[in-house]
Structure 1
């Protein structure tokens, strides 16, 4: 018999989508995977150099549980420059990717019965980790407000048990970038109600259409003592498999995280730590610039093709590297073959009939959304988007013709 907590969550929806792609591909089908939350790109030379040098020097032992002091100093310097707030290494914990940083935060901040505001659509791990901590995720729908939370809606969701608010900008899955006004209002609300802000900025390196990512602590310095900032190098340097992330938080929180991590994974991978340290000390930001250019071109390509969709509005795609389609008009039309269906049905049929893998919005608490990644190879993105457009439009056109004949 399994523990009761195993009933509180299922495997990551994005991981399941990737598994579906692999399974279909193994059968010899031509599969186009637009589900992956990663960028196809060469590793920055400074990362390779740092890792190879560490291996050649025979570095293979433990480091401090929450990362080497030199790396934490470098990260503190990075955060200080980005936020305009002076961080020290005592306020930094290095983790096995951003997921561990978030998991650590939920376990050291939340008690059973606490509630956490999670704007929806949301990355499913947010809700799962809150549940694992014995707390309750409280969803606040953002779909009617351009996928940015309405402050009045957040305030209405607060109860005496509310402990924290999750802020994920640029957002996964929607690509929404929270404006300064929204971030300031969230910070003021958190201060007024003595709440924590869990600020996930993993996609902060990539914004589009003149949008700019801002840290909530740079806008409202007073919220810093109530904020857990989480980031990683998985997206910004296209090194998802290296599993290296970090959190910035008050020293007392970092101390608790250190004790917790000492009983779970202990220190993050030592070679990955040295690789990132070498990059921070010697990198010139060229790698990040190249990735931004690559994603900007891919975004334009995807939007150009998706603009041909007849019953689906073009996504804003302000940040990150996802195109999030709102299928509500398609699914809600009585003339549509998809009437009464959900994004799960669309995604399943899309895979079965065209070999294109996407992530249905139900994974993110939204039964009407569909997430496509444009982080992959351009030719696969082009082919996948063309297949999707043809599939959705042809299906509907065919249904309208049949309906007219009846």
Structure 2
């Protein structure tokens, strides 16, 4: 018999969507995959250089559990520059991707029975990891406020059991970028109620003008001592497969993370660490800027194509690289014609009828949303979105 906790959550909905896309493609059909949370790109040249140098230098041993000290110093400098707050190497943990940073945070902070506030729609892993830690996710609906949580709603959800707030901006899946006032209000609430803030800014380099990404400790320095910053290079440098991320947090939290990580993965991949360190030491941002232009071009193309949708409003796409479609009008139209149409139905039909793989909003706790990635090849994006638009427009 399996442990009871395995019945409390399902496999990642985004992973399931990718699997469905691959299965459909394996049958010989042309499937355009808009499910992946990654940018299609070659590896950054400086990252390649660093990795090759480490390999030819016979680097193959464990590092410190929290990662190479020199890398942690580099990440502390990076975080200090980005947040305008001082950070030291002993406030940094290098992790096997941002997922491990989030898992470490949940395990270090959350006791059984604790509640953690999570704005919805949410990335599917947020609540799963809280549940694994024995906590209870409490969802804050944001659809009525353009996917940016209202402070009144968050405040109303706080109870004596509330331990933390998860803040993800730019947001996955919605693409919303939280404004300064919202972040300041959430930070003040955390300070007043003595709550932890888990601040996921993995998409921070992809805020699209005129929207600006604001690190919460820059907006509210008073929240510095109760904030855990989660970041990675999966998006910033298109290194999803390298599994390299980091956590910036108070020393007491990092101490607990070190003990936990020593019993899970131990140190992160040593080649990935040296490759990233080489990139950071160079100070070269050319590749990062190239990715930002690539994503911005994909966004512009996608918004142009999606503007032809008749029963689906234009997605906000303020940040990140996802279009999040609101299927509410389409569902109401279908119901008026005697047909029920869920987000799962739409995703399934698009895969079957249009050969386009998407992620149903049910993966994010939202029955009327649909996530599309625009981080893929430009020509495939154009083709896929045109197929999707044609198919959805036939359902009016």
What TM-score do you get using the length of structure 1 for normalisation?
0.96
Match of 1:376 in 2: 376
Shift of 1:283: 3.7
- The answer to whether the 8 A contact 1:330-1:336 is kept is no
Structure 2 gap segments, 5+ residues each: none
Q: Residues 56 and 393 from structure 1, CA distance in 2 versus in 1: closer, same or farther, beyond 3 angstroms?
A: same
Cα distance in 2, alignment partners of residues 314 and 209 from structure 1:
17
Q: Residues 338 and 49 from structure 1, CA distance in 2 versus in 1: closer, same or farther, beyond 3 angstroms?
A: farther
Cα distance in 1, alignment partners of residues 148 and 165 from structure 2:
14
Match of 2:9 in 1: 9
- The answer to whether the 8 A contact 1:65-1:266 is kept is yes
Q: Deviations over 1:222-246 (max 9, x none)?
A: 1010000000000000010000000
Matched ranges for 1:355-374 at <5 A: 355-374=355-374
Structure 2 residue matching 1:333: 3-state secondary structure: helix
Structure 2 residue matching 1:395: 3-state secondary structure: coil
Shift of 1:292: 0.7
Shift of 1:352: 1.0
Q: How many residues align?
A: 396
Matched ranges for 1:64-75 at <5 A: 64-75=64-75
Match of 2:296 in 1: 296
- The answer to whether the 8 A contact 1:330-1:338 is kept is no
Cα distance in 2, alignment partners of residues 71 and 338 from structure 1:
59
Shift of 1:335: 6.3
Query: Does 2:125 align with 1:113?
Result: no
Q: Deviations over 1:32-56 (max 9, x none)?
A: 1000000011211110000000001
Shift of 1:112: 0.1
Match of 2:320 in 1: 320
Q: Deviations over 1:120-172 (max 9, x none)?
A: 00001000000000000000000010100011001111111000000000000
Structure 1 residue matching 2:313: 3-state secondary structure: coil
Shift of 1:343: 0.5
Shift of 1:333: 2.7
Cα distance in 2, alignment partners of residues 62 and 258 from structure 1:
14
Match of 1:27 in 2: 27
Match of 2:276 in 1: 276
Structure 1 residue matching 2:156: 3-state secondary structure: helix
Q: Residues 25 and 337 from structure 1, CA distance in 2 versus in 1: closer, same or farther, beyond 3 angstroms?
A: farther
Shift of 1:394: 1.0
More moved, 117-126 vs 323-332: 323-332
Matched ranges for 1:29-68 at <5 A: 29-68=29-68
Matched ranges for 1:5-404 at <5 A: 5-333=5-333, 339-396=339-396
Cα distance in 1, alignment partners of residues 178 and 246 from structure 2:
22
Structure 2 residue matching 1:257: 3-state secondary structure: helix
Shift of 1:209: 2.7
Shift of 1:197: 0.3
- The answer to whether the 8 A contact 2:334-2:341 is kept is no
Cα distance in 1, alignment partners of residues 92 and 207 from structure 2:
25
Shift of 1:316: 1.2
Cα distance in 2, alignment partners of residues 345 and 156 from structure 1:
34
Q: Residues 122 and 299 from structure 1, CA distance in 2 versus in 1: closer, same or farther, beyond 3 angstroms?
A: same
- The answer to whether the 8 A contact 2:335-2:341 is kept is no
Structure 1 residue matching 2:170: 3-state secondary structure: coil
Q: Deviations over 1:326-347 (max 9, x none)?
A: 1111112356668532111100
Structure 1 gap segments, 5+ residues each: 397-406
